[in-house]
């Protein structure tokens, strides 16, 4: 049975999530991919304020396609998360609580997730049209010059996700591989 959670995230919500949990996320989240992460990181290094308060927020690694008639957004599938790994620990240290993407995270990011009591969710790759149906409102927040990679504020309803890395340091990918190997040996 999926767990219903709301963004922005609370410390209690994050700490109760476990690797492997199925989640339906509703609320406000932000989009940011490589170029936006680089700009936010450079702003941090320069001592500048970020373009939005990331405290307790969730960032979805997506560059949505343009909306067609009668759509809020076009396809909105996750991008590969490791491309943001260089920037992620800095953002987590500033209060980011959740990330949504696909694929593995580096050991440095996983350590930062645990240290900062945050969470990494996977959205199912290949389901961009399904995910787009969960997005009810879109607003460009900043970096408009980046086009599809501009930071957007999304209102989502029941976005289906899986907890991959939880606040306790558990990794669902590692758990799954171990269970597969154990089943193979029996």
CA 159 remoteness from chain centre: 11
DSSP-derived letter for residue 72 is: S
Strands, E assignment, the chain: 3-7, 22-31, 58-60, 98-101, 119-122, 135-142, 151-165
CB distance 121 to 98 below 8 Å: yes
**Active-site residue identified among 33, 37, 97, 110:** 37
3-state secondary structure of 105: coil
Known active-site residue 37: yes
Tokens, residue 125 = 């790759």
**Which one, of 151, 158, 170, lies nearest residue 54 by Cα?**
151
Q: Please list the active-site residues.
A: 37
């Amino acid at each position: 049975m999926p767990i219903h959670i709301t963004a922005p995230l609370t410390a209690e919500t994050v700490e109760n999530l476990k690797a492997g949990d199925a989640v339906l996320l509703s609320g406000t989240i932000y989009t940011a991919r490589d170029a936006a992460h680089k700009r936010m990181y450079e702003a941090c290094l320069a001592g500048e304020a970020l373009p939005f308060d990331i405290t307790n927020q969730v960032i979805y690694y997506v560059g949505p396609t343009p909306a067609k008639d009668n759509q809020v957004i076009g396809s909105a599938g996750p991008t590969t998360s490791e491309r943001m790994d260089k920037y992620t620990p800095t953002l987590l240290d500033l209060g980011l609580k959740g990330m949504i993407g696909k694929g593995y995270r580096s050991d440095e990011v996983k350590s930062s997730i645990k240290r900062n009591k945050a969470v990494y969710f996977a959205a199912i790759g290949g389901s961009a049209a399904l995910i787009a149906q969960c997005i009810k409102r879109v607003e460009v927040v900043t970096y408009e010059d980046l086009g599809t990679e501009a930071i957007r504020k999304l209102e989502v309803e029941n976005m289906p996700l899986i907890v991959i890395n939880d606040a306790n340091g558990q990794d669902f990918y590692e758990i799954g591989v171990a269970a597969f190997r154990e089943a193979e040996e029996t």
